[in-house]
C-alpha cells in the first residue's frame, strides 16, 4: 500500500536534514574548535564554506544530467551515501587542502540529492489533489538537521580531551544521525512519484522569475555568512558553549516547526510580498547579535532566524512554482539552486575578509544582514502569475 503523503514528506525532509543541516550547517559548530586547534583566520575558515558552495554550484548544474545518465533513483541513493561519507571523512585530517576537497565534494553530492529530493517533494498531493504543506515541509527538514547538530556536536566536543580530538569527535558525531537517516530517505524517495529526469524543453523559466533568482542569489550571500560565523561571534561575546548549543538547537527547531505553519498565509499573498516579508525577517534577526550582546539576545536572533530563513527558502522556490507550468518546476529548482550556490560562494569569504580587515565578526555579520535586506527588496519586484491558475 502506498504511504501517506505526509509520511513521505517527513521522510523526504530528512534529505535536507542530512545534506544541509548536518553536513553544511554542522560545520558552523565544528568551526570554532577547528580554528582553535589549526590556527585558521576567518578568511581561511570562510574558504571552506566557499569550497562547499562551489561544489553545491557544480552539483546544481549537473544534477539533472547525472540523473538522466545514471537513473534518478540510483543517482539519488549514491549521492546521499556520498554526503554521509564526506561528513565522516572530515575527522581524518586537519590538512587544509584535504578539508577543502571534502567540503567541495560534500557540496556537489548535497546539491544533487537536494534537487532530486525537492523534485519528489513537489509532486506530493493531498487526497483531494491539493499541494498541501509538503513542499514547505521538505525545506524545513534542514532545521531538524541543525537541531540535531546542536545536540551531538557540543556533547562530542565536551567529552574530548583536547581541541584536536574535539573537532574530530564532532565530525564523527555528525556522521551517526546522518548514517541512520540513509534508509529513511532511500525508502521515501522510492515511494514518492519521481519521474525520470527529462531534458528541458520550451521557454527557459529564468526570464519570468528573474527577481526571484536575483533575490535567492543575494539571500545565499547573506544567510551563509550568518550561519558560518555566528557561533564564533557569540563565543566572542561571552556566550558560553551551553548558550551557543541552546541557540543552535532553538534555531533548528524553529526552522523545522514553523515553516509548514506559514504555508496557508503564503498562498494568500502575492509571491513577491511573501518573499519580502520572510527575507526581511532574516535580515532583522541577523542584525540582532550586531546591535546587542548576551545569551538572551542571541536566542531571540536564533529563533527568529530559524523561523524565517528556511521558510524564506521555501517561499522563494514556491514562488517559482506559482509562476511557472509544472513541466518547468524541476528545471526552475535547478536554476534557483545555481543562483543560491553562487551567492554562497561569495558570502563566507566576503564576511571573513571584512572580519579580518579589522572590524571583527561584528563587521562581517553587519554585511550579511545588509545583503539580506537588499535581497528582500529585490524579491518584492517579482510579479504575480498572469492568470488565476498561477501560470504564465
Mean of pLDDT over the chain: 85
Mean pLDDT score, 42-50:
85
Q: And the C-alpha cell for 157?
A: 566536543
Of 167, 41, 160, give the one whose Cα is nearest residue 94. 167
What are the cell numbers at 8? 513521505
Mean pLDDT confidence for 189-194:
66
Say yes or no to pLDDT of 390 above 50.
no
Place of cell 574558504: 47
Assess whether pLDDT exceeds 60 at residue 389: no
Q: What is the mean pLDDT of residues 40-48?
A: 86
In the predicted structure, residue 284 carries a pLDDT above the cut 90: yes
Indicate if the pLDDT at residue 392 is higher than 50. Answer: no
| pLDDT score of 51 more than 50 | yes
What are the cell numbers at 126? Answer: 493531498
Hey, what domains does the chain have and what are their CATH numbers?
5-191+207-379 (1.20.1250.20)
Read off the pLDDT of residues 295-307 as tens digits, 9 standing for 90 and up: 888 889 999 998 8
- Please state the length of the chain: 392
Q: With beta carbons less than 8 A apart as the criterion, state whether 45 and 227 touch.
A: no
Residues 219-236 have pLDDT tens digits of 999 998 888 888 888 888
**Buried-exposed string 134-153: b where 16+ CB fall within 10 A, e elsewhere:** bbbbbbbbbbbbbbbbbebb
pLDDT tens-place string over residues 74-106: 999 999 999 999 999 999 999 999 999 999 999
Please give the residue that has the higher pLDDT: either 130 or 250: 250
What average pLDDT does range 137-146 have in this prediction?
A: 88
Give the model's pLDDT for residue 193: 55
CA 232 to chain centre: 19
Mean pLDDT of 35-62: 87
Could you tell me if 307 and 254 are in contact, meaning their C-beta atoms sit under 8 angstroms apart?
yes
Question: CA-CA distance, 391 to 260, in Å (whole number)?
Answer: 23
Query: Closest Cα partner for 17 from 107, 114, 119?
Result: 114
Mean pLDDT of 266-291: 88
Q: What is the pLDDT of residue 165?
A: 93
Q: What is the pLDDT of residues 309-341, one digit of tens each?
A: 888 887 887 787 778 777 777 777 778 878 888
The span from the CA of 363 to the CA of 366, in Å, is: 5
Three-state SS annotation for the chain: CCCCHHHHHHHHCHHHHHHHHHCCCHHHHHHHHHHHHHCCCHHHHHHHHHHHHHHHHHHHHHHHHHHHHHCHHHHHHHHHHHHHHHHHHCCCCCCHHHHHHHHHHHHHHHHHHHHHHHHHHHCCCCCCCCCCCHHHHHHHHHHHHHHHHHHHHHHHHHHCCCHHHHHHHHHHHHHHHHHHHHHHHHHHHHHCCCCCCCCCCCCCCCHHHHHHHHHHHHHHHHHHHHHHHHHHHHHHCCCCHHHHHHHHHHHHHHHHHCHHHHHHHHHHCCHHHHHHHHHHHHHHHHHHHHHCCCHHHHHHHHHHHHHHHHHHHHHHHHHHHHHCCHHHHHHHHHHHHHHHHHHHHHHHHHHHHHHHHHHHHHHHHHHHHHHHHHHHHHHCCCCCCCCCCCCC
As given in the structure block, the three cell numbers for residue 154 are 557540543
Q: For residue 104, what pLDDT is reported?
A: 96
Region of 360 (left: φ > 0; alpha: ψ -120 to 50; beta: rest) is left
Read off the pLDDT of each residue in 339-368 and give the average, rounded to a whole number.
85
Quote the percentage of the chain above a pLDDT of 90: 36
Amino acid at each position: 500500500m502506498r504511504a501517506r503523503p505526509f509520511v513521505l514528506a517527513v521522510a523526504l525532509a530528512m534529505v535536507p536534514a542530512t545534506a544541509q543541516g548536518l553536513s553544511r550547517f554542522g560545520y558552523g559548530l565544528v568551526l570554532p574548535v577547528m580554528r582553535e586547534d589549526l590556527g585558521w583566520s576567518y578568511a581561511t575558515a570562510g574558504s571552506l564554506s566557499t569550497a562547499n558552495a562551489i561544489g553545491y554550484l557544480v552539483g546544481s548544474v549537473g544534477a539533472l544530467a547525472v540523473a538522466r545518465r545514471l537513473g534518478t533513483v540510483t543517482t539519488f541513493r549514491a549521492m546521499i551515501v556520498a554526503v554521509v561519507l564526506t561528513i565522516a571523512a572530515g575527522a581524518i585530517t586537519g590538512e587544509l587542502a584535504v578539508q577543502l576537497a571534502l567540503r567541495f565534494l560534500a557540496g556537489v553530492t548535497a546539491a544533487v540529492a537536494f534537487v532530486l529530493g525537492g523534485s519528489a517533494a513537489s509532486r506530493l498531493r493531498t487526497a483531494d489533489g491539493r499541494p498541501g504543506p509538503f513542499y514547505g515541509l521538505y525545506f524545513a527538514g534542514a532545521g531538524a538537521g541543525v537541531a540535531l547538530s546542536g545536540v551531538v556536536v557540543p556533547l562530542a566536543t565536551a567529552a574530548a580531551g583536547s581541541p584536536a580530538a574535539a573537532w574530530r569527535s564532532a565530525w564523527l558525531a555528525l556522521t551517526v544521525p546522518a548514517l541512520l537517516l540513509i534508509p529513511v530517505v532511500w525508502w521515501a524517495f522510492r515511494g514518492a512519484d519521481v519521474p525520470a529526469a527529462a531534458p528541458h524543453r520550451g521557454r527557459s523559466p529564468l526570464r519570468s522569475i528573474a527577481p526571484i533568482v536575483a533575490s535567492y542569489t543575494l539571500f545565499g550571500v547573506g544567510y551563509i555568512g550568518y550561519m558560518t560565523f555566528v557561533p564564533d561571534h557569540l563565543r566572542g561575546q561571552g556566550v558560553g558553549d551551553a548558550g551557543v548549543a541552546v541557540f543552535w538547537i532553538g534555531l533548528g527547531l524553529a526552522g523545522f516547526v514553523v515553516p509548514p505553519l506559514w504555508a496557508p498565509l503564503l498562498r494568500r499573498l502575492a509571491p513577491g510580498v511573501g518573499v519580502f516579508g520572510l527575507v526581511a525577517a532574516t535580515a532583522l534577526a541577523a542584525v540582532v547579535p550586531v546591535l546587542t550582546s548576551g545569551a538572551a539576545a542571541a536566542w531571540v536572533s536564533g529563533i527568529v532566524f530559524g523561523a524565517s530563513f528556511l521558510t524564506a527558502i521555501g517561499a522563494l522556490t514556491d514562488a517559482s512554482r506559482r509562476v511557472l507550468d509544472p513541466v518547468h518546476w524541476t528545471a526552475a529548482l535547478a536554476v534557483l539552486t545555481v543562483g543560491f550556490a553562487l551567492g554562497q560562494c561569495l558570502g563566507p569569504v566576503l564576511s571573513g575578509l571584512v572580519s579580518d580587515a579589522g572590524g571583527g565578526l561584528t563587521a562581517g555579520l553587519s554585511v550579511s544582514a545588509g545583503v539580506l535586506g537588499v535581497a528582500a527588496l529585490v524579491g518584492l519586484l517579482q510579479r504575480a502569475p498572469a492568470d488565476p491558475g498561477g501560470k504564465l
